[in-house]
Structure 1
Amino acid sequence: MAYRHFEGKEQASSYWKHRFPPSDHLIQQLLDFVEKQKGGPYELAVDVGCGPGRGTALLAKHFASVVGLDVSPAQIEVALQRSKEPNITFRQSVAEELPFADSSVDLVTSMSAFHWFDRQRFLQEVHRVLKPRGCLALFGFHNDIELNYSNCCSHTLSQIIKEFCAALKAHRIAHIGPYHMNLYKEAYESIPYPGKEWHEHVLVKRTMTLFKIMRMMETYGDYQAVLSDDPQKATRLTQDVKQRLMSVMGVTSMETEVEVVTTYFYLVACKPQEV
C-alpha cells in the first residue's frame, strides 16, 4: 500500500517555503541522460508526488508540457497558486494509477517521494505510460546534513544534526525502513532496463540560515511522525538542537547563515525500444 503524508494545508505551505528541490546541476545530469538515451522531441514530462511543484518547475523549460501529480488536494492547491509557467498543469492523482495512456510520456520523475509509494505498482505504471526510449528518474536525499561555519568545527555541528536525526528515527514508519536510500537502490536493481544508472553520493551545497535549516528538517517525515506521536517531545528536540548549534557557533541569532551540504542519490533508467 502507499502511505499518505504532508496532506494538510499547513504542511503544504511549509513544504513550499522550506523544502528544496534537486539542484539545477542534478536536473542537468538527468537531462543529459535523457538526451543520451532518447533524444528529442521532449513533449511530456510527469512529476509524481510533486508536492507544491518546486521540482516540477525545473522541468518546464525543457519539455513542451509538464504535469505535476500529487495525492494531496492541499499540495495541488499550493502548486496551482505558486505556478507561473504556462506549460505546467497540476492534477490530483495517486502514484499507482497514472492518468496517462500507454506509451505516452517521455519522462517520469519523482523527487523525494518514491519511498512513500506502493513501489512495485508504481514501477509497473511507469513502464506502461513511458514511450519506447522514455526515461524514469527517482531522486532522494539523506536527512543527515553537514554544516560548515567559519572558525567553527564542522564535525561538531554535523554531529548535532546526526544525533537529532537519530532521535527521529525511532518514530519512522516501518514501510520506509531504517535507510530509505535502500528502497531506491532496490528499485534500481529490480528495473529490467539495460540502460540505467545509479548515483549514490552527489553533494549539493547551499547557504541557509539556522532558522531555515530547522524549518526544513521539521518537514521531514520522521519529524512529522514525532510531532504526531508526541508534540512535546518534538518541541524539546528542536529547542535542544537550536541551543546546541548556537552555542557551538558562538552566536545568538537563528538568522545566522551557514553552508549546508546535502547528499543526494538518484537513479535514471530508459525503457527499451519495443520491437
Structure 2
Amino acid sequence: MAARLFEGKDHAVFYQKYRFSLQENQQRVIFSYLDEKLSSFRLAVDVGCGSGQCTHLLAKRFEKVVGTDISNAQIEEANRAPHPPNVSYLVCPAEKLPFEDHSVDLVTAFSAAHWFDIPRFMAEVERVLKPIGCVILSSSTLDMRLHYGDRTEKLTQIFTQFQEQLSVYANEKINRVKDDYEEIFMSLPFQDKKRITDVLDKVPMTVAELMGLIQSFSMYQMFLKDQPEAAKAALQNTEQRILETMGVSSRETQLEYWTRQVCVLGCRSS
C-alpha cells in the first residue's frame, strides 16, 4: 500500500514554498541519460509530483508533461504556481496511471517513489512506457550537511540532532531512502538500468528557508500532529542554535544546504 503523508492543505503550502527543484548536478545526470537513451520526447509523466517543483523542468525537453499526485491539495498548489504551457497536472494514484499502454516516453518520480506500492507502480511503468522509454526515480538521501564558513561541522551536528529527534516519526518506507533506493532499483523490471548514489548538490538558502524546508518534512508534520507545542518548540530551539552558531541574528542570512542524492535510471528497450 502506498503511504499518504503529504495530502494536507497546510503541508502542501509549505511544500510549494520551500521544497527546491532539481539542482545542477542532478539535472546533468538525468538529462545526459535521457539524451543518450531516448529518440522521442513527446510525453513525460512525473508521478508523485507534489506541487510541481521538478515537473516544469521536463518541459524544456518534452512536448507535453503531465504531473500526477494523489493529493488534491498538492495539485491545487501546482496549478496555482506559474508553470510552462505544455505542463498540466491531475490527481491520481501512482499505481493507476490514466495513460494508454505504451504511450509514454518518460516516467519520473522525484522524492516520491519510496512512498509508492512498488510492485503495482512498476507494473504501471512497464505498461505505459513505449517500447523504447525511460524511467527515472530519484531522491535526496538523509545525508545532509549545513555549510557556513568554519561553522560547518557544528551546524551539521545541530541539524543531525534535530533529524534524530524527528526519526521516531519516520514512516517505515523511509528505509527505502536509507538503503539508497536499492530495493527500488532491484524492483525495476528492465535489464538496462543503473543506480547512482553519489550525486552531490549545494543549495543556497536562508535560515528562514531552511526552517520552512524542515516543516515540509513528513517526519516534522507527524511530530506536529502528535505534539504540536513540542514540535514548534523544537523547531524554534533548532533555529536559535543555528543562528547562535553562525554568529548572526537575521533569519535572512544565507548558508548552503548540501544534499546527496540517489538516482535510479532505467530504459525499456523492447
TM value normalised by structure 1: 0.93
Equivalent in the alignment of 1:122 = 121
Equivalent in the alignment of 1:12 = 12
Q: Deviations over 1:230-266 (max 9, x none)?
A: 1122112112211211121111121111122111111
The amino acid that maps onto 1:35 is: D
1:216 aligns with 2:201: no
Unmatched 5+ stretches in structure 2: none
> What is the alpha-carbon root mean square deviation over aligned residues?
1.5
Equivalent in the alignment of 1:196 = 193
Equivalent in the alignment of 1:153 = 151
1:174 Cα deviation after fit? 2.6
1:31 Cα deviation after fit? 2.0
The amino acid that maps onto 1:50 is: C
Unmatched 5+ stretches in structure 1: none
Q: How many Å separate the matches in 2 of 1:2 and 1:183?
A: 19
User: Secondary structure in 2 aligned to 1:248?
Assistant: helix
**Identical-pair percentage:** 40
Equivalent in the alignment of 1:244 = 241
Q: Deviations over 1:183-232 (max 9, x none)?
A: 72111123242211111121111211111011101111111111111112
TM alignment of 1:33-48, pairs within 5 A = 33-38=33-38, 40-48=39-47
| Among 234, 238, 244, the residue aligned to 2:231 | 234
1:86 aligns with 2:85: yes
Equivalent in the alignment of 1:28 = 28
Runs of 4+ in 1 over 3 A off after TM superposition: none
Range with greater deviation from structure 2 (248-257 or 63-72): 248-257
1:131 aligns with 2:137: no
Structure with the largest fraction of helix: 2
1:265 aligns with 2:247: no
The amino acid that maps onto 1:240 is: N
Structure 1 residues 154 and 24 mapped into 2: Cα distance closer, same or farther (>3 Å)? closer
Q: How many Å separate the matches in 2 of 1:240 and 1:48?
A: 36
Q: How many Å separate the matches in 1 of 2:142 and 2:181?
A: 15
- Whether the 8 Å CA contact 2:192–2:268 is kept in 1: the answer is yes
Q: Deviations over 1:78-101 (max 9, x none)?
A: 111114311111111000001111
The amino acid that maps onto 2:25 is: H
Equivalent in the alignment of 2:99 = 100
Q: How many Å separate the matches in 2 of 1:34 and 1:148?
A: 32
Range with greater deviation from structure 2 (77-86 or 260-269): 77-86
The amino acid that maps onto 1:8 is: G
1:144 Cα deviation after fit? 4.4
Q: Deviations over 1:2-46 (max 9, x none)?
A: 1112212222121111001221432232122122223x2200000
- Whether the 8 Å CA contact 2:190–2:268 is kept in 1: the answer is yes
User: Secondary structure in 1 aligned to 2:17?
Assistant: helix
Q: How many Å separate the matches in 2 of 1:144 and 1:136?
A: 24
- Whether the 8 Å CA contact 1:164–1:241 is kept in 2: the answer is yes
Q: How many Å separate the matches in 2 of 1:99 and 1:185?
A: 28
